[in-house]
Structure 1
Amino acid sequence: MQIFKFGGASVKNAEGVKNLASVLQQVGYTNTLVVVSAMGKTTNALELVIKNYFDNKAELQSSIQEVKKYHNEILLDLFENTQHAIFKKVASFFEDLDHFLRRNKSPDYNFVYDQVIGYGELTSTTIISAYLNDIGIKNNWLDVREFIKTDDYYRRANVNWEQTQTNIKECFDTKILNITQGFLGSNSNNFTTTLGREGSDYTAAIFGYCLNAESVTIWKDVPGILNADPRYFENAQLLHSISYREAIELAFYGASVIHPKTLQPLQQKEIPLFVKSFLNPKNEGTMVGKGVGLDPDIPCFIVKKNQVLISLSSLDFSYIVEENISQIFKLLHLYKMKVDVIQNSAISFSVCFENSYSNLERLLQHLKAKFKVTCYENVNLYTIRHYNEQAVSSLETGKELLLKQLTQETIQIVTK
């Protein structure tokens, strides 16, 4: 069994869908599961729908219409016959979306987010499955929510591994090509949940683990795993091979090429992960596996933008001790802040985190009752693995440093 994952950039238009079919024809699709994300920037477009639902009802229908129009253009480019059943199927998804938005009574943004956002993946995979069947690549469309079961932690759900493995073992036919959605799951009440942004890679790993797959391949618009994101760093280089451990370190620090949770289930069963280019599918790309070194052995750069840095000190200049730190972390957990860096001295404590759930003001009010608080928003967190003096100098030049932390193999710098 092999697992292929295609991201939104690979299927952003009709040409992308046709190229996906070409990749399957070139590399083979026997005993294969294909996991696909929403097309192009659909997730962003649906996030605007959700925002308008809560904050700007006057623009709600026009934002939905934009998503419909985008997918309809792809349909018209792929299917000459406008009476094809796929047109009605896609239309039914948007009818379901309209129906949910009309009848929903929940004020919970995170719940609404997960019920709406998944229509991107449901639509993309339905279109792709129909196109592949039309050109002779016979396949079976699966609703991933029937297989991956999670808890109720909307927007970052935790997998119920026991139930998920049971579902996949009992209901999954490995003898045919299957197409399913990334990013999505469902809870015990069958409400849609999501695994976190970029969670489609994780979906591929979940299936890889449960099916004891021979390999998992992530198809991207880059040659493989690079030592830096070419959008932010010049002269990025391809890493030919990398160990699970190193890849997990890079993912933890925010390397966008691999979802942080993706590697853990694969490592447990020593299933190799390949990252390849959908533009050049025969190229080797990057292999992540057991017992392989970092090749080439060079510094790896990561940046996380729009972070928050807060520095705390006690109001009476007393020491920041275990009790204080415990209280701080309880609050960070309460307000769902994803911590990236911590640093403390005798009388101060600094932490850099993501404010994904927009709870910053509530957190600050809580902290200010006990601490003197300095807060910096929209800061950048840079991480270099296997750093050297030249690499550090290239990052620090021309920036205002707010925090710097070094270990033997990693340096992290927070800048304005």
Structure 2
Amino acid sequence: MKVFKFGGASVKDAESVKNVALVLENQGFKNCLMVVSAMGKTTNALEKVVANYFAKVDYQQEIENIKQFHIDIAKGLFQEKHPVFAEINLFFDDIDSFLRRNKSPNYNFVYDQVVSCGEMISSKIVSEFLNESQFENNWLDARDYIKTDNTYREGVVNWIETEENIQKLSKEKNYVTQGFIASDEHNFTVTLGREGSDYTAAIFAFGFDASEMTIWKDVPGVMTGDPRIFENVELLDSISYEEAIEMAYYGASVIHPKTLQPLKQKNIPFFVKSFIDPSKAGTKVGNASDNQYLESYILKKEQYYLTVDTRDFSFIAENHMKEIFSLLLKYNIKVSLMQNSAISLELCLEDKFGHIDEFVQDLQNGFSTNLLKDVSLFTVRNAKIDELDKFYKDKKVLLEQLSKNTLQMVIQ
């Protein structure tokens, strides 16, 4: 069984969906499960619907705009009377109906029920189009197979139940399903974290004991840096699971951070390839012996730089660390980099859920703090130690750390 994942950019319009069929023609579509993301910027648009709903401003026009976007794509793929148009209308009626009936004040719960619809609609359109293009497949609802707890917007997978569910599927058929979404024990939708479709593909690959997994991107593979930011970057032909995990952790956007561990556990080969030129080999992620130790660059934006000091100038001790990290956990804020001295703790933080101000206010009950917003974390993997000076040029460095040929700096 093979697992393919196609992201939003690969299904952003009718021509892109047609190109997916060309990729399958090139690669073969037999004994394969395909994971599909929401189309284009649909997730962003649905996030705006949720924000407007809680702000008590008009959200229905935004729903109508998103619906029309999908209808226009479908018009480029199907005849006028095709049943998929009724399906699209039904999905958007469900969003509107849910928001009208909802009584929950839980933003994250509402977010998951609404934003997940992007993947549902996208996968249905792609599945129907492929069936009409002689790529026979069965449409699956990923929520029937991937089970999590009720940590809305970042569900924790129940691996035992999920693997059992996936193993009930035949390995002799083709499937199209959704990325990003799962369900809890009460069958409410739970998402797996922003950009979590790669993770979905890895979960299905793990459950199937897949022969391989490929994610299809608009880049040739894993590069030594984002070509939109860095000059003279190279394609990494082959890297280890460990290297890919490190790169994803530090912020390389081409791979979701949670994707690699399920694949590594079962030694499933993982490829990152271009849907623009599917004949190219792309990047293979596998065993450590395959690793290329090329200098690589990662820029993680929208970070926060926080310094925490004890009010009485006492040492930062274990009890202080426990209190600080308990609050980080409470507000679901992730640490990208940390460094401590005798009386101070410096943190580079990522705040996906918008709780940074509450966190800092709570922290000030026992500590002195200073917060800088909108900083970036710049990481150099496999850094050439004798050439580090070039990375400091024209940068205001707030915090730096060097370990095992990895240079990291928080910069403004």
TM class by shorter chain equals over 0.9
1:94 to 76, 92, 95: 92
SS at match of 1:365: helix
| 1:397 to partner: Cα distance | 1.8
The amino acid across from 1:245 in the alignment is E
Q: Does the CA-based 8 Å contact 2:399-2:409 persist in structure 1?
A: yes
Contact 2:5 2:214 in 1 (8 A): yes
Task: Say which of 365, 369, 375 aligns to 2:365.
Answer: 369
Which residue of structure 2 lines up, in the alignment, with residue 332 of structure 1?
Answer: 328
Distance in 2 (CA, whole Å) between partners of 1:55 and 1:236 is 43
Q: Report the equivalent of 2:71.
A: 72
Aligned pairs for 1:192-341 within 5 A: 192-295=189-292, 297-341=293-337
2:155 maps to 157
- The answer on whether the counterparts of 2:384 and 2:405 sit within 8 Å (CA) in structure 1 is no
For 2:385 and 2:373, the matched residues in 1 are separated by 28
Aligned partner of 1:16 in structure 2 is: 16
> Does structure 2 retain, via aligned residues, the 8 Å contact 1:299–1:391?
no
Q: CA deviation at 1:358?
A: 1.3
- Distance in 2 separating the partners of 1:284 and 1:393: 35
Give the structure 2 partner of residue 380 of structure 1: 376
* Paired amino acid for 1:388: K
Counterpart in the other structure of 1:189: 186
Aligned to 1:148: 146
- Contact 1:241/1:292, CA 8 A, preserved across alignment: no
Pair 1:139-2:137 in alignment: yes
Give the TM-score normalised by structure 1: 0.97
SS in 2 for 1:292: helix
The whole-number CA distance in structure 1 between the counterparts of 2:404 and 2:23 is 42
CA distance in 1 between counterparts of 2:144 and 2:242 reads 32
* Aligned residue among 393, 398, 402 for 1:402: 398
**Cα offset, 1:294, TM superposition:** 3.0
Q: CA deviation at 1:279?
A: 0.9
Matched residue SS, 2:21: helix
Q: Structure 2-normalised TM-score?
A: 0.98
Root-mean-square deviation over aligned CA pairs? 1.1
Mapped partners of 1:392, 1:50: distance in 2 = 45
Secondary structure of the structure 2 residue equivalent to 1:284: coil
Post-superposition CA distance 1:291-340 (Å, at most 9, x none): 33333x32111111111111011111111111111111111111110111
Distance between the aligned counterparts of 1:391 and 1:115, measured in 2? 50
1:404 partner letter: E
Shift of 1:199: 0.6
Number of equivalent positions:
412
SS in 2 for 1:404: strand
Tell me how far apart the structure 2 counterparts of residues 303 and 179 of structure 1 sit (CA, whole Å).
33
Residue 6 of structure 2 corresponds to which residue in structure 1?
6
Structure 2 CA distance, aligned partners of 1:324 and 1:162? 37
Provide the C-alpha distance between the structure 2 equivalents of 1:293 and 1:272, rounded to a whole number of angstroms: 11
Distance in 1, Cα, partners of 2:182 & 2:374? 31
Counterpart residue number, 1:36: 36
Structure 2 CA distance for aligned equivalents of residues 390 and 63 of structure 1: 53
Report % sequence identity: 50
Structure 2 CA distance, aligned partners of 1:364 and 1:38?
34
Q: Cα 1:394–1:293, aligned 2, differ >3 Å: closer, same or farther?
A: farther
Which stretch shifts more, 395-404 or 133-142? 395-404
1: distance between equivalents of 2:230 and 2:69? 32
* Structure 1: segments with no counterpart, 5+ residues: none
Note if contact 2:273-2:283 (Cα within 8 Å) is conserved in structure 1: yes
> Could you tell me how far apart the structure 2 residues matched to 1:288 and 1:15 are?
30
- Describe the superposition over 1:338-370 as per-residue Cα deviations: whole angstroms up to 9, x where unpaired: 111110001110111111111112111111111
Which secondary structure does the structure 2 equivalent of 1:57 belong to? coil
Mapped partners of 1:54, 1:13: distance in 2: 30
Q: Given that residues 116 and 189 in structure 2 are in contact (C-alpha distance below 8 angstroms), is that contact kept between their aligned partners in structure 1?
A: yes
Q: Report how far residue 56 of structure 1 moved.
A: 4.4
Distance 2:26 2:4 in 1: 13
| Aligned-partner Cα distance in 1 for 2:330–2:262 | 27
**C-alpha displacement at 1:408, in angstroms?**
2.0
Q: Distance in 1 between matches of 2:11 and 2:100?
A: 30
In structure 1, C-alpha distance between the alignment counterparts of 2:233 and 2:388, rounded to whole Å: 16
Alpha-carbon displacement from aligned partner over 1:101-152 (angstroms, at most 9, x marks no partner): 1000011110011000111000001001111111211110000000000000
3-state secondary structure, aligned to 1:125: helix
On the 8 A contact 2:147/2:161 being kept in 1, the answer is yes
Which residue number corresponds to residue 61 of structure 1? 60
Q: Per the alignment, in what secondary structure is the counterpart of residue 78 of structure 1?
A: coil
Q: Runs of 5+ in structure 2 lacking a partner? A: none
Query: Matches of 1:216 and 1:408 in 2, distance apart?
Result: 30
Report SS of the residue matched to 1:378. Answer: strand
Match of 1:105 in 2: 103
